[in-house]
Amino acid sequence: MTKTIIIGGGIIGLASAYFLRKKGLDIVLIDKGEPGAECSSGNMGWVCPSLSDPVPAPGLVKTSLKWMLKRDSPLYIKPSVIPALSPWLLRFWKYCSEDAYQNGFRAGLELSRNTLRLFDELQQENGLEFEMHRKGLLFVFLKKSYIEEKLDTYRIVEEFGLPAPAAKTKKEVIEMEPALSDSVAGGIYLPAERHVRPESLTSNLTEWLVANGVELRSQAEVTGFICEGEKITAAKIGEKTIEGDHFLVTTGALAGQLLNKAGIQVPMTAGKGYSLTISSPSIQFQQPLYLGDSMVTISPFNHSVRIGGTMELSGLNSDLDHRRIDSLRSSASQYLRSPIHGKEKAWCGMRPMTPDGLPVLGIVPPFANLFIASGHAMSGISMALSTGSAMSDLITSGKSTIDLSPFAPDRFTTQRSSNKERKVTV
C-alpha cells in the first residue's frame, strides 16, 4: 500500500489525511504538538467561499504604511523585524494592484467552488458531529460610503455560483442583529456563508482519522529529509527516520523553514491573528459579523462568542500582546449597544502568509514526491476541505479537477539550493 507522510496536523493536514485515507492510502500524520492545536484552534471558524479574496489589495500600500507602526491598527508591523522582513514586504506590496487582486480573487473562488458541498458531505457521509451554523454573514459599517465599495468588490461571487451580496439599511441590520447600536450606518448580507467551531471540527476529524487507521504521531518534529536524487525517501524525526512514498508539508507558517531544509525557498511568513473567546456571554448574536471599518470579526458559538482579527507581522513567534486583545474589545464596542461580559480566554496564532496572498499548493520541484499545501492566510478553515480534496487527487493521480496553477510552489521562482550536502541528507 502506498504510504503518504503528512507533516503538520493543522486543519489542512487533517483534511488532506481524510481525503487520502478515503482513497485507500496508508497515512502517517506527524505534528510537533497536538493535531489541531495551533492556528486551527482559536480562529473564527468561517466557512466563507465568498471571502476568498487575497490579503494584498489595491490601496493597501498607502493604508499599511499608515497603520504599520500602530499597535492597535488592523495591520501592525513590529519595527525590529522590518529589516529581515523587507524582501517579503516589497513583494507583498507589489501584489497590491487591481490586476493581481482580481486574478487572486478568481483563483480563490475557483478553489472554494465546492467548499459548501464538501462540508455537507463531511457531516452526512461520515456522521461527524462538529458544530456548524448556516446563518450567513453580515458585514456592518459605521461609514455608509464603505457599503457600496464592498458591495462592488463581492459582486464577482455570482460568477462562481454563490448568491449575490445584498445591501442592508441601518434599520435592516439592527433588525437582523439587535445587539448592534445606532452608530452603524448599514451593511451587506452574504446568505450562503457558514461558520464552524474550529476546535470541534479538528477534534472530530482527528477521531475519524484514528478510527479509520491513520497513524498519528504527536509531539514529533520533522527536522529534515533524506533524499536520493530528486526523490525524498524519508523524513527525519530527531535521530529516527520514517520512510514513505509521498511527503506532504502542511506546517502552516513554518512550511518555509521546513522546505528550506530540502534546499527549497518559499517566501512564507507569519501574520499573527488574535482572538478573545467569551464563555456564557451577556450578548447572544444572531449571526457572524464582520465589522467592516475596523476589520474585526465576531463568531457566535454554542454557549460562547469569539471576537477576532488584526494582522501582526512580528516574525515566527507565539507571543501574545494583550494590547492587541484590548484593541479587539474597543473595536467591537464601537458597534454594540452594550459591552460583552463573560469568562474570557485570549489567544493568538500564526497565519501562514505568502506575498501574493494565495496558498502554495502542489508538487515542489525538483522533487517528484514532495508536496506542499500551506499559506492559506485567513482562509484555512474555509479552504481546508477543497484543498485536501485537490491534494489527494494530485498525489494519487497526478492531476486535480481544480486548476492549481495560480498556487504553484515555483511561482516565486522557487529553486533548490546548490548546496551539495543536501543531495543526500537534508
User: What CATH code is carried by the domain that includes residue 206?
Assistant: 3.50.50.60
Q: Is 179 inside any structural domain?
A: no
Is 424 inside any structural domain?
Answer: yes
Does 183 fall in a domain?
no
What residues have CB less than 8 Å from 317, skipping those under 6 apart? 270, 272, 350
Q: Can you tell me the distance from the alpha carbon of 417 to that of 426, in angstroms, rounded to the nearest whole number? A: 11
**Each residue's pLDDT expressed in tens, for the chain with a length of 426 residues:** 789 999 999 999 999 999 999 999 999 999 999 888 776 678 999 999 999 999 999 987 777 666 666 777 778 888 889 899 999 999 999 999 999 999 999 999 999 999 999 999 999 887 788 999 999 999 999 999 999 999 999 999 999 999 999 999 999 999 999 999 999 999 999 999 999 999 999 999 999 999 999 999 999 999 999 999 999 999 999 889 999 999 999 999 999 999 998 889 999 999 999 999 999 999 999 999 999 999 999 999 999 999 999 889 999 988 999 999 999 999 999 999 999 999 999 999 999 999 999 999 999 999 999 999 999 999 999 999 999 999 999 999 999 999 999 999 999 874 444 433 333 344
Our count of domains for the chain comes to: 1
In a domain, 254, yes or no: yes
Task: Tell me the H-state helices in 315-379.
Answer: 322-333
On whether residue 321 sits in a domain, the answer given is: no
276 occurs within a structural domain? no
Output the 3-class SS for 212-265: CCCEEECCCCCCEEEEECCEEEEEEECCEEEECCEEEECCHHHHHHHHHCCCEC
SS3 content of the chain, % helix, strand, coil (to 5): 35, 25, 40
Domain limits for position 405: 1-53+97-130+195-268+354-426
Cβ–Cβ < 8 Å for 274, 309 = yes
- CA 16 to chain centroid, in Å, comes to 14
Whether the ω angle into residue 366 lies within 30 degrees of 0, i.e. cis, is yes
Task: Quote the DSSP letter at residue 269.
Answer: E
Domain assignment present for residue 178? The answer is no
In a domain, 166, yes or no: no
Q: Which of 349, 70, 423 is nearest to 199 (CA)?
A: 349
Residue found under cell 525524498: 232
The region that residue 361 occupies, defined by phi over 0 for left and psi between -120 and 50 for alpha, beta otherwise, is beta
